[in-house]
Structure 1
Amino acid sequence: MPRLGRTLPARILLAVLGIVVVTLAVGFALFARLTSQTADSHAIEQATGIAVTLGRVPEVARAVTDGDAEHALPALGAQVRASTGASYVVIIDRTGRRYSHPNPALVGKRIEEPVVALDGQVHTGIDEGSLGRSANARAPVVDASGRPVGEVSVGILESEVGVRLTAEVLDIALYAGIALALGVVASLLLARAIKRVTFGVEPAEIVALMQEREAMLHGIREGVLAVDAKGVINVLNDEARRLLGVDSTGVGQRVEEVVPEGRLRRIVTGEVEGVDLVAVTDEHLLVLNRMPVLVAGRNVGWVVTIRDRTELEALVRQLDSMEGLSTALRAQEHEFSNRLHVLSVLLELGEVEEATRYSRELQAETALASEEIRARVGSPVVAALLLAKITVAAERDVVVRLDPTSRLEAGRDEDLPLVTVLGNLIDNAVDAVADDPRTAGSHPRGEVLVRVTGSADSLLLTVSDTGPGIPKDRLADVFLDGYSTKPPRGAMRRGVGLALVHRLVTRAGGTIHATSTEGATFEVRLPLRVRQGAP
């Protein structure tokens, strides 16, 4: 369990409250400063208005000139102070003598500073007077001729301004409380929304999951491709990049931008459905499985696992070929044992001439096929391939013949995938003939005709069979990964051989075509490469 204060709702609540409190504090400080400056300005204007008005009253000028013989100015100052809310109203003559003051003990005494309003101007500012700090205005007291005879000093203490500011601060505090309450509610709603999106996982758990995921995804030897519901890749580990041939990270891109057009993309996007689907690239034979991802009943995308079966499939096919070859060799061994037994019996009976004739027939039969192939095919590797395929096919009661018009000079197959292409085409043709239900019980089951010819700039391979052929509407599909009309045989996957042949021919710059009339015919044209330094 996460520690108290470390849960996602608590973190969001603390963050939101911190933001709101700091914002309100900064705003309050600015507001208090501006309000204080505004209040001071307003107090100075108010004090100025009182002082100017009182200084222009004729009775005040006469009383100041007569020395306030009737003692009317203290009462007038108190009356003005009470009616205007001023903190003090001080009337002073030219000599600085006070005629009114909130403190009666100071009436009649002189002020310490000079009488500045005798210049006929109004002087304002913040004054540190005997009653405290105040907004002060000093206006001249003028007689009937307009001559200054004294001054009126009016002040509004800072405490009075503070009372007004305090009243406004209460409104600010109310606003701050409402803002805090809204922040708490918003943080709780935000926390619930984030928890719903993250399926209730806490931040510390998310960090741990991310670390574990990165270690696992990039440590396994299986490609993993994860796509969200919008088709955007959000996981692509190193093995998947290697198998798909992706140079960039791929994360954040759409599948169409990373995976090239073809069967591989259709498997990833779900257009092709199934289990252990096969896709062939230029470098690899891949087996893919696509699984949807459901979290809390919601479809959040899908995950595709990619396994490299290139080497394993090659070994399976080699093993299958070796099994076929060993079966043929066992059958030939049995046949040769019978022939040797016949020769032995003939010699035991003293039929030397008959034994010699029989031996010569066997020798001629054995050497005929190899001599015919070697006469037409100059490449030892291709000739050996044809002899091996003829032997294996014979055990399945299928005849493999080399077309008499075949001609292949030695050295013409260098740097070309001739053995792989020809071997796969012959294997497919033999399978089609041997598995044809129409020829069950007949001997032989059918025939495969191979033709290999060369021109000045290319090699032409043609493999025809007498099998059931290919449906007209599926001729374009025979080279697709995973397409096959034959049932699986053992661990070897169907629908891979022709796809590999197509990749090899295309990479070599050649072409391959399939036709079907009576059986199937595959025609391959491979361009010859002129080696540097060749005449």
Structure 2
Amino acid sequence: MKKGKFSLQAIIILFVCSVVALSLGITDIIISKRITSSVEETEKEKALNVARMTSLSPSVIDALDGAPNHREVQDFASQVKDKTNVNFVVVMDMKGIRLSHPDPNEVGKHFKGGDEGPVLTTGKEYVSISKGTLGKSMRAFTPIKNSQGIQVGAVAVGISLENVTKAVHKGRIGIFFGTLIGILIGIIGAVGLAKYIKKILLGLEPFAIAKLLEERSSMLQSVREGIIAIDQEGKITLVNRAAKKLFKRAGLEENPMGRNIEAYLPETRLTRIIASGDTELDQEQNLNGVTILVNRVPVIVENKPVGAIATFRDKTEVKLLAEQLTGVRNYADALRAQAHEFMNKLHVILGLVRTEQYDTLANYVSETVNHRETEMGFVTKKIQDPVLAGFIIGKLSFARESGASLSFDCSSKLPKPANSEITHELITIIGNLFDNAMEAIADSPNKNVDLKLDYAEDILTIEVKDTGMGMTTSLQNRILDKGFSTKGENRGFGLYLLAQAIEKLEGDMIISSKPGKGTNFAVYIPYKAEDESND
């Protein structure tokens, strides 16, 4: 994303100031035209009123209707001019000869300007602009009539155009200052708006926001987990590629964007996450026959939930990874335990060789070989599933390495399961029971663990008994809760996974324990053998 030449703040200030200045400029032009027109109309009306007043003066009418008295008309016109602040008041007879004028030397001469004709010929009043002896001016002409209604002359009242221009300019000064104040207010508002927007955008420039958006989109589309987000109203606002692929596998072909989450995925609990503000992790959900593991978290802004996000993945994929990890870990544990046990035996052999106790050495080697063959032979003979058999052998070696006595008994032969997924669940069950028993006897003087398997009538019984410190009834009621542990933080998941595995296999479990008497776990699992399934 290319970086712009100007910052967002500068762009906002320039844009807002330009808009304000343009708006006020246009307003100034419009108002100025109206003021000019208004001033001109006012001055025109003023000139006409002065002319009308003069035309109705008895002294003026008598002077034009009888013997002309220039002195009296001149004095009256001068008084009117001074009182009304006009440029001139000229009284003329029907021949256009002046009876008054601001310049006494012009009295008795013909009116100049060439625009007096219509008032003398038609007797109508009007306003015109023309140039006379006093310069260019606005002139109002009004006929003078005697008592019989006969026109005997006319009066011309002039207002200098320079005075009109000054009046218009005076009116525009106020508009100018108003416009200037408006621009200053616009600049202040633009700066405040720019700072507010920058604060909302966390100080980021548009190119930085666009870059973050592209990176976020690429990141969301590249992850293998499905991601879906909703807003406060429950509308879907985000779905990545992995989520759409999983939805398609579950038979949901429509585009979910913008749809209500409850209508598109009725089994989801995202709307309840918004209402409660709680977080749900590693929850199973059935999506039209596809089992997924879901994490649901609320989106909190200013301590208020404004939406929710769910990340999920097909449980089959997670289980496959878990099986691979479990197999590697079990194999590594078994090798480590056997290697440690083998080193201990080599030390014994070395000591017997150095002390030259060859008969004892021969007996020891023979017993070790026979014991090893007997143990491995017994396990592989009784348990026909090689994965489960290898797991049990590894646990036997680990128990001996830890200084504990592990007794294994399988009264009947355990065939391979009809469904290979059962093996993973059995490893989860036996492994967590064994690990829990080993931790229980860690501080016990008598470190014994008994593991028994019994298969009969399609029921597999798993019994693990330890000689640990035992548990109270209240503790037994809580040990299967997720995250509960008496051994510190970030613990308490083993027995929770154990309970989930038993529930998935539709099995049952009985716990027998008393403080100081040890603990006995008995698990009963429906188990279909491979041969029975083939039949």
Q: TM-score range by the shorter chain?
A: 0.5 to 0.7
C-alpha distance in 1 between matches for 2:321 and 2:414 = 35
1:127 maps to 2:129 = yes
Is the Cα–Cα contact under 8 Å of residues 97 and 110 in structure 1 kept in the other structure? yes
* Alpha-carbon shift at residue 403 of structure 1 (Å): 6.7
**Aligned pairs for 1:55-454 within 5 A:** 55-66=55-66, 68=68, 70=70, 72-102=72-102, 104-105=105-106, 108-110=109-111, 112-113=114-115, 114-116=117-119, 119=122, 121-124=124-127, 127-130=129-132, 134-172=137-175, 175=178, 218=215, 238=219, 242=223, 245-248=226-229, 280=282, 318=327, 320-330=329-339, 367-374=377-384, 381-382=387-388, 385-386=391-392, 389=395, 392-393=398-399, 396-402=404-410, 410=416, 412-414=418-420, 416=421, 418-437=422-441, 440-442=444-446, 445-450=448-453
Provide the secondary structure at the position in 1 that maps to 2:227. Answer: coil
Is the Cα–Cα contact under 8 Å of residues 379 and 389 in structure 2 kept in the other structure? no
User: How has the CA–CA distance of structure 1 residues 71 and 504 changed in structure 2, closer, same or farther, with 3 Å as cutoff?
Assistant: farther
User: How has the CA–CA distance of structure 1 residues 439 and 72 changed in structure 2, closer, same or farther, with 3 Å as cutoff?
Assistant: closer
* Alpha-carbon shift at residue 515 of structure 1 (Å): 5.5
User: How has the CA–CA distance of structure 1 residues 162 and 71 changed in structure 2, closer, same or farther, with 3 Å as cutoff?
Assistant: same
Provide the secondary structure at the position in 2 that maps to 1:435. Answer: helix
User: How has the CA–CA distance of structure 1 residues 100 and 452 changed in structure 2, closer, same or farther, with 3 Å as cutoff?
Assistant: farther
* Alpha-carbon shift at residue 84 of structure 1 (Å): 0.8
C-alpha distance in 2 between matches for 1:284 and 1:31 = 70
RMSD value over aligned CA atoms?
A: 5.9
C-alpha distance in 1 between matches for 2:495 and 2:217 = 30
C-alpha distance in 2 between matches for 1:325 and 1:420 = 17
User: How has the CA–CA distance of structure 1 residues 371 and 430 changed in structure 2, closer, same or farther, with 3 Å as cutoff?
Assistant: same
- Which of 496, 512, 517 is matched with 1:517 structurally? 512
* Alpha-carbon shift at residue 154 of structure 1 (Å): 2.3
User: How has the CA–CA distance of structure 1 residues 365 and 434 changed in structure 2, closer, same or farther, with 3 Å as cutoff?
Assistant: closer
* Alpha-carbon shift at residue 144 of structure 1 (Å): 0.5
* Alpha-carbon shift at residue 163 of structure 1 (Å): 2.7
Residue type of the partner of 1:373? I
Provide the secondary structure at the position in 2 that maps to 1:91. Answer: strand
C-alpha distance in 1 between matches for 2:326 and 2:142 = 114
User: How has the CA–CA distance of structure 1 residues 247 and 150 changed in structure 2, closer, same or farther, with 3 Å as cutoff?
Assistant: same
Is the Cα–Cα contact under 8 Å of residues 88 and 102 in structure 2 kept in the other structure? yes
Return the TM-score normalized by structure 2: 0.59
* Alpha-carbon shift at residue 135 of structure 1 (Å): 4.4
Is the Cα–Cα contact under 8 Å of residues 331 and 394 in structure 2 kept in the other structure? no
User: How has the CA–CA distance of structure 1 residues 247 and 526 changed in structure 2, closer, same or farther, with 3 Å as cutoff?
Assistant: farther
Is the Cα–Cα contact under 8 Å of residues 323 and 424 in structure 2 kept in the other structure? no
C-alpha distance in 1 between matches for 2:102 and 2:492 = 112
Is the Cα–Cα contact under 8 Å of residues 383 and 389 in structure 2 kept in the other structure? yes
**1:474-531: per-residue Cα shift (whole Å, max 9, x none)?**
7556453x5544579xxxx85555566677778xx66677664323647587899xxx
**Aligned pairs for 1:496-515 within 5 A:** 497=494
Provide the secondary structure at the position in 2 that maps to 1:425. Answer: helix
C-alpha distance in 2 between matches for 1:135 and 1:22 = 34
Provide the secondary structure at the position in 2 that maps to 1:79. Answer: helix
**1:89-138: per-residue Cα shift (whole Å, max 9, x none)?**
233444444443446548531563432476554434x5244356644433
C-alpha distance in 2 between matches for 1:366 and 1:11 = 80
User: How has the CA–CA distance of structure 1 residues 479 and 316 changed in structure 2, closer, same or farther, with 3 Å as cutoff?
Assistant: farther
Question: Which one is further off, 465-474 or 425-434?
Answer: 465-474
User: How has the CA–CA distance of structure 1 residues 108 and 362 changed in structure 2, closer, same or farther, with 3 Å as cutoff?
Assistant: closer
Q: How many residues align?
A: 440
1:35 maps to 2:29 = no
C-alpha distance in 2 between matches for 1:399 and 1:107 = 149
Provide the secondary structure at the position in 1 that maps to 2:47. Answer: helix
Is the Cα–Cα contact under 8 Å of residues 510 and 522 in structure 2 kept in the other structure? yes
Q: Which residue of 1 aligns with 2:44?
A: 44
C-alpha distance in 2 between matches for 1:177 and 1:90 = 44
Provide the secondary structure at the position in 1 that maps to 2:407. Answer: strand
User: How has the CA–CA distance of structure 1 residues 85 and 460 changed in structure 2, closer, same or farther, with 3 Å as cutoff?
Assistant: farther
Provide the secondary structure at the position in 1 that maps to 2:228. Answer: coil
Is the Cα–Cα contact under 8 Å of residues 380 and 386 in structure 2 kept in the other structure? no
Is the Cα–Cα contact under 8 Å of residues 44 and 140 in structure 2 kept in the other structure? yes
Provide the secondary structure at the position in 2 that maps to 1:448. Answer: strand
C-alpha distance in 2 between matches for 1:117 and 1:510 = 122
* Alpha-carbon shift at residue 38 of structure 1 (Å): 1.7
Q: Which residue of 2 aligns with 1:230?
A: none
Provide the secondary structure at the position in 2 that maps to 1:247. Answer: strand
C-alpha distance in 2 between matches for 1:102 and 1:86 = 11
Residue type of the partner of 1:436? A
C-alpha distance in 2 between matches for 1:180 and 1:318 = 76
Is the Cα–Cα contact under 8 Å of residues 478 and 484 in structure 1 kept in the other structure? no
Is the Cα–Cα contact under 8 Å of residues 123 and 151 in structure 2 kept in the other structure? yes
C-alpha distance in 2 between matches for 1:237 and 1:270 = 28
Question: Which one is further off, 24-33 or 152-161?
Answer: 24-33
**1:322-346: per-residue Cα shift (whole Å, max 9, x none)?**
343124544786899999x9xx979
C-alpha distance in 1 between matches for 2:372 and 2:22 = 105
Q: Which residue of 1 aligns with 2:244?
A: none
Provide the secondary structure at the position in 2 that maps to 1:100. Answer: coil
Identity of aligned pairs, percent? 17
* Alpha-carbon shift at residue 42 of structure 1 (Å): 1.3
Q: Which residue of 2 aligns with 1:291?
A: none
**1:221-246: per-residue Cα shift (whole Å, max 9, x none)?**
xxxxxxxxxxxxxx898269947632
User: How has the CA–CA distance of structure 1 residues 383 and 50 changed in structure 2, closer, same or farther, with 3 Å as cutoff?
Assistant: same
User: How has the CA–CA distance of structure 1 residues 505 and 19 changed in structure 2, closer, same or farther, with 3 Å as cutoff?
Assistant: farther
Return the TM-score normalized by structure 1: 0.59
